[in-house]
Amino acid sequence: MIIILKKQAEEAQINALKKEMTDQGLGIHESEGVNTRIIGLVGDTSVVDMRHIMANSIVENVQRIQEPYKKANRKFHPNDTVVDVSGVKIGGGNFQVIAGPCSIETKEQITEVANDVKNSGAGLLRGGAFKPRTSPYSFQGLHGDGLKLLLEAKKATGLPVVTEIMDASHLPLFEDVDLIQVGARNMQNFELLKELGKIDKPILLKRGLAATIEEWLMSAEYIMAGGNENVILCERGIRTYETATRNTLDLSAIPVIKKKSHLPVMVDPSHATGIREMVEPLSLAAIAAGADGLMVEVHNDPAKALCDGPQSLTPEQFDSMMNKVNKTRQFFETL
């Protein structure tokens, strides 16, 4: 981190600022030009609050040289992280597809979809029990009863299960869940992230709908700083001015994340587009961009789905898509 000082900064003020920095355990490297004087901070600056330094009247500007995240940073962890979800590996060349309905509705629905997606090659089963709906009048999920049905489908198929948590107080209900999802709306629920940092279960962290990649990685850092390094990122589209799709899938986030971080990154084309027909082309594009997996909504009767029917594939459509997913992966492996 470098601090650029104002021209009129007095020596006593500069010394006070330097002392403040060395008191935090940082080294100082000074450089004086014709017009500017610069203080370089040497050491772990992830704990330094830039805005606090900016508040000092002798400071013209502050710039970060190093990213504010350490545990999620590829610089300190050059190899890809492979997250093991109850025996199913994701990342570092291990590609997986998570599939299932938006919400768990009935025992028949979740079990039927689970069997279908397993037969088509999905490695994990998804299903929401706690639903963060925009309207309080929309279906909110079956909560604990839904989790029970999801665990029954897990037993029946052997697929590890993925479901969203909305409040840390629900954690005891998630004991047998294999991968806990943090939804887009909770990406910056820092108290929830801190609680998830204390457990050793893998976490699927979706990108917030208006979050920058750095903010997203800082949220991963919250979980990892607590000791839980089993984090998988999931790009699910961001809010832009475009209204033709539900969100705008930011495929460029994949190569950016791959450069900045060692964490696996998956793509959710269902929520990104909100439109069934677009799930397959964007799934294939995500593979081309380097994604470590996909998360796709599949429903046995999308027209009657209690949530996200328009973006849900039928089991037949999912099966046909998986065929193309496998061919696309094989093609990229030959390159």
Read off the amino acid at residue 151. Answer: L
Read off the amino acid at residue 176. Answer: D
Which one of the spans 106-114, 166-174, 301-309, 323-331 is the region binding Mn ion (CB under 5 A)? 301-309
Which one of the spans 168-176, 228-236, 306-314, 319-327 is the region binding Mn ion (CB under 5 A)? 306-314
DSSP state of 276: G
Is residue 105 at the binding interface for Mn ion, with CB under 5 A as the rule?
A: no
Cβ 286 vs Cβ 254: under 8 Å: yes
Ramachandran angles phi, psi of 308, nearest 5°? 60, 35
Which one of the spans 66-74, 140-148, 279-287, 307-315 is the region binding Mn ion (CB under 5 A)? 307-315
Q: Which two tokens stand for residue 113?
A: 């979809």
Query: Which H or E run contains 277?
Result: none
Give the nearest distance from C-beta 297 to Mn ion in angstroms.
6
Which one of the spans 67-75, 139-147, 178-186, 300-308 is the region binding Mn ion (CB under 5 A)? 300-308
Token pair 């919250």 in the structure block, residue = 222
Query: Which H or E run contains 316?
Result: helix 315-334
Give the nearest distance from C-beta 226 to Mn ion in angstroms.
27
Is residue 102 at the binding interface for Mn ion, with CB under 5 A as the rule?
A: yes
Based on CB atoms, which residue is closest to Mn ion, 21 or 187?
Answer: 187
Question: Rounded to whole angstroms, how far apart are CA atoms 299 and 109?
Answer: 8
Which one of the spans 100-108, 164-172, 225-233, 240-248 is the region binding Mn ion (CB under 5 A)? 100-108
DSSP state of 264: -
Which one of the spans 39-47, 99-107, 108-116, 144-152 is the region binding Mn ion (CB under 5 A)? 99-107
List 164, 221, 229, 308, residue binding Mn ion (CB under 5 A)? 308
Which one of the spans 22-30, 65-73, 172-180, 304-312 is the region binding Mn ion (CB under 5 A)? 304-312
Give the nearest distance from C-beta 268 to Mn ion in angstroms.
9
Based on CB atoms, which residue is closest to Mn ion, 102 or 204?
Answer: 102
Q: How many residues bind to Mn ion according to rule CB under 5 A?
A: 2
Residues facing residue 143 across a β-bridge = none
Give the nearest distance from C-beta 305 to Mn ion in angstroms.
9
Which three-class secondary structure state does DSSP give residue 154? helix
Q: Where are the beta strands (DSSP E) in 253-325?
A: 265-267, 293-297
Nearest C-alpha neighbor of 247 from the set 233, 268, 218: 268
Give the nearest distance from C-beta 162 to Mn ion in angstroms.
12
Question: Rounded to whole angstroms, how far apart are CA atoms 189 and 306?
Answer: 26
Is residue 292 at the binding interface for Mn ion, with CB under 5 A as the rule?
A: no
Give the nearest distance from C-beta 133 to Mn ion in angstroms.
10
Give the nearest distance from C-beta 126 to Mn ion in angstroms.
9
Based on CB atoms, which residue is closest to Mn ion, 292 or 308?
Answer: 308
> Using CB under 5 A as the criterion, what x/- string covers residues 187-206 for binding Mn ion?
--------------------
Long-range pairs for 110-115: beta carbons < 8 A, 24 or more residues apart? 110/149, 110/150, 110/152, 110/153, 111/149, 111/152, 111/153, 111/156, 111/157, 112/300, 113/153, 113/298, 113/299, 113/300, 113/315, 114/153, 114/154, 114/156, 114/157, 114/159, 115/156, 115/157
Based on CB atoms, which residue is closest to Mn ion, 195 or 308?
Answer: 308
Give the nearest distance from C-beta 36 to Mn ion in angstroms.
52
Is residue 221 at the binding interface for Mn ion, with CB under 5 A as the rule?
A: no
Give the nearest distance from C-beta 188 to Mn ion in angstroms.
20
**Which residue is closest to Mn ion by CB?**
102
Query: Which parts of this chain interact with Mn ion (CB under 5 A)?
Result: 102, 308
